[in-house]
Amino acid sequence: AEREQWKWILIRGLYDRGFTKEKVIKLFKIIDTMMTLPKQLQAGLVTKIKQFEEERTMPLISPTEQLAMERGIEKGIERGIEQGEQQLVIRQLNRRIGEIELSLIDSIRRLTIDKLELLGEALLDFSSVTDLEQWLQNNPES
């Protein structure tokens, strides 16, 4: 029972230090080899580990990795919104003033979200491609 307690303390320490998933598994295997337990105690320890993971909702990634992942997700969402808005404005322009040239589409894709929203409102007053070209000249990309 004392050996089980020491093994539990060591294993918990791995989680508390925020190691990567690979490192936790490697170190766990070493601890498991060095501190073998009878099957009944080992089963109890495994249950304790599972409960601990569930309580902590242990993602098996470090806090730094978690933060990076969250930032990546945020950027992906922002980029998706931006692309959706670009596509909507381009479709509206094509419907309002006819098929627009690729060079103008490229200029639209370089606009910030704020400028895209302004263009989305302004295009309601456009009657020709010239109106779009003028608007793009008066509203630089950045």
Count of domains for the chain: 2
Residue where one domain finishes, among candidates 14, 46, 61: 61
For 36-85, the pLDDT digits (tens) are: 888 888 888 888 888 877 776 655 667 787 788 889 899 988 888 889 99
Q: What is the pLDDT of residues 70-126, one digit of tens each?
A: 898 999 888 888 899 999 999 999 999 999 999 999 999 999 989 999 999 999 999
Residue type, 123: L
User: What predicted TM-score, i.e. pTM, was given to this entire model?
Assistant: 0.53
Q: Which long-range contacts (CB under 8 A, 24 or more apart) does 51-54 make?
A: 52/12, 52/15, 53/15
- Give the C-alpha separation, 123 to 142, whole Å: 19
Q: Which domain holds residue 100?
A: 64-138
Closest CA to 122 of 106, 137, 142, 101: 137
Which one of 61, 78, 112 terminates a domain?
61
Task: Look at residue 110 in the predicted model and tell me its pLDDT.
Answer: 93
Q: Are residues 32 and 87 in the same domain?
A: no
